Amino acid sequence: MINTFHSTLPPPPVPPRTGYAGSKPNSNSSLVKFLSVVLLLLMLLTFGGFFYLFSKTNTLQSNLSNHEDFAILKRLQECEDSTESKWLLNCKELVLKYKSVLDKVLQAEGTAAKIVGESSPETFAHLKAMPKQQSTPPLLNPPANTLLWDREHSVFENVDLSSTGTLTIRRPGTYYIFSQVTFSAQHARAPLRQFIMSKTKKKQEGEPLLKSYCSLSTSRGAGFPDLCTSSQAGVFKLEAGQQLYINVTDRDLVNTESSFFGLFML
């Protein structure tokens, strides 16, 4: 190779190429042109190479997602084991990513569960009215128009039941609610009725969700047991902590054997 930098002589002529008629006065500028072309080619090659490699790694990355999952799990494990703050800083981004993915998965699972019809854990209640002889615990003294429930003969899951007759919702959601109350005696002034009442944190004053009434026949002779039954059911959105109870004309007028209250989550 000839060192053109330290030479006082003019640079040697470019070897003649086919189809190119170089002349001596032009030899310098033609060398620059040649080098520029070579440089341009090199740059194109470099960029092309980069693009090629980039797309190649991209396809490989998406293709080898299983391996990547494994690598991420391994990194998560390293994050869990590590106590160095430098490592933990590196972990932060990974954990955030993991969280957002987890949220997506949980959401997808939620919709899948809805499609399949799984709503776990089970939430339901079927409460039997408390028989009269036990119905007035002296210490609690619940209001005379609230029905009380017999724990022993009732079934319930994922709701709370108080001894003053209140059922409290744990899981928010849409519920089917039903009740039936049978009356065995007339009230002197008021109609015979049962309301499914609701109390929320916002509305501490109980308000009726459903109302139903019945009347005893007045024409029957003495000696016949006279009964009337009112039933009702409906679908409601309930929130966690919402309280439900049955308000009747008077608890003492109720035939407890055929009175019940229940619900289940849809």
Site for ligand NAG in 79-138 (CB under 6 A): none
- What are the residues whose beta carbons fall under 8 Å from the beta carbon of 113, sequence distance 6 or more? 119, 120
| Residue 209 binds ligand NAG, judged by CB under 6 A | no
206 counts as binding ligand NAG under rule CB under 6 A = yes
| Closest CB 183 distance from ligand NAG, rounded Å | 15
Site size toward ligand NAG (CB under 6 A) is: 8
Q: How far is the CB of 184 from ligand NAG (least distance, A)?
A: 20
Triad 138, 142, 145: Cα angle to 5°: 130
Beta-sheet pairing, 228-238 with 159-161:
unpaired
- CB-neighbour burial class of residue 245 (10 A; exposed 0-12, middle 13-18, buried 19+): buried
Q: Which stretch binds ligand NAG (CB under 6 A): 33-41, 106-114, 139-147, 255-263?
A: 139-147
Q: For ligand NAG, which residue of 59, 83, 111, 133 counts as binding (CB under 6 A)? A: 59
**Residue 197 lies near ligand NAG (rule: CB under 6 A):** yes
Query: What are the structure tokens assigned to 6, written together?
Result: 């330290």
Q: Between 181 and 265, whose beta carbon lies closer to ligand NAG? A: 181
Distance CA 224, CA 214 (A): 18
> For the chain, what is the largest distance between any 2 Cα atoms, rounded to a whole number of angstroms?
142
Residues 141-180 that bind ligand NAG (CB under 6 A): 143, 145-146
- Closer to ligand NAG at the Cβ: 145 or 182? 145
Buried b (16+ CB within 10 A) or exposed e, 220-244: eeeeeebebebebeeebebeeebbb
- Residue 12 within binding range of ligand NAG, rule CB under 6 A: no
Structure tokens at 83: 């106590």
- 230 in Cβ contact with 212 (< 8 Å): yes
Is 63 a binder of ligand NAG (CB under 6 A)?
A: yes
Q: Does 230 bind ligand NAG (CB under 6 A)?
A: no
C-beta of 205: minimal distance to ligand NAG in Å? 8
Q: Which residues bind ligand NAG (CB under 6 A)?
A: 59, 63, 143, 145-146, 197, 206, 247
